[in-house]
Amino acid sequence: MIKAVLLDMDNTLIATQDLFEEAHDRLTAFIHSRALTPPAESLATVRRFEVELFTSFGYGTGMLPQAFENALLHYAPQSPAADIAAVRGMASDVYTRPARVIPGVPQALEKLAGHFDLYILTAGEPEAQQRRIDALPFKNIFRGTFPVPEKTPETYSVLLKKLGLKPHEVVMIGDSLKSDIIPSVAAGLSAIHIPHANWIGREMAGLKMPETTLATVFNHMSGAASHLIAGAGRKNSIAPLPSRKPAHPAQAA
Ligand SMILES: [Mg+2]
């Protein structure tokens, strides 16, 4: 029987992806103003840098400013320090500006909280993630919030031990196959995938839903909440669903 729900934050509760897209728009317009590069071209370039730099920076907040700087210098190698600082600032803004709450999420959380203990499990630089948690209008609904550097099967096992919960008592909800679904299922939890266009496709690229009844897909948090609540009285975890294709598969650009 499910006792607790772990929730991813970025692009599950709040639309962090919008902030990345706005920053990309500002960067590509800036590069266009300096080097006349078509925005689509510089966008592809900065995304390439982001993927490359992820290897060394991970989810840390240093990656995006470096990628923006690299992209500017790629097209305008003689850029003055003020221009470099400007594009780095556009990237840093992503980590400090508040993100919009995804429609329907507050109501779904309200319903879930009537049946389960709710926790946030979010990957990223702890300080930046804590700032986002503090800005959540519904932050008091959670019994605990856990910013972690990354989510591996061990992350889930360690957290469950800390909370005194067994894997079959917990469901993880999130938008990332890589961080939320594959490792949680590997640790024995149930998982609900709610696809969302997440950054540069890295969270989805080359990954597939695990073929197990432990993992299901919903297009919205409200559907996931109703499903969990409907199964709350049953003995064995959540009711298995036939696997469904999301209406908008998250093949982030
Ligand atoms: Mg996410």
Q: What is the CATH number of the domain that holds 184?
A: 3.40.50.1000
CA 50 to chain centroid, in Å, comes to: 16
Measure CA 200 to chain center.
Answer: 12
Q: What is the C-alpha to C-alpha distance for residues 90 and 103, in angstroms, rounded to an integer?
A: 26
User: What is the span of the domain harbouring residue 207?
Assistant: 4-15+100-231
Query: How close is the Cα of 17 to the center of ligand 1, in Å?
Result: 9
In the DSSP assignment, the letter for residue 12 is T
pTM: 0.83
Say if residues 160 and 136 touch (Cβ distance below 8 Å).
no
Please check whether residues 8 and 121 belong to one and the same domain.
yes
Domain membership flag for residue 239: no
C-alpha 143 to ligand 1 mean position (Å): 19
- pLDDT tens digits in sequence order for the chain, 253 residues long: 999 999 999 999 999 999 999 999 999 999 999 999 999 999 999 999 999 998 888 878 899 999 999 999 999 999 999 999 999 999 999 988 999 999 999 999 999 999 999 999 999 988 899 999 999 999 999 999 999 999 999 999 999 999 999 999 999 999 999 999 999 999 999 999 999 866 545 556 678 888 888 899 999 999 999 999 998 755 444 555 544 444 444 333 3
Please tell me the distance between residue 200's alpha carbon and the centre of ligand 1 in angstroms: 12
Inside any domain, residue 250 = no
Residue 233 CA to ligand 1 centre (angstroms): 29
Question: Is residue 246 domain-resident?
Answer: no
76 and 116 together in one domain: no
Q: How many domains, in total, are found in the chain? A: 2
- Tell me the CA–centroid distance for residue 27 and ligand 1, in Å: 23
Round to whole Å and give the CA distance between 177 and 203. Answer: 6
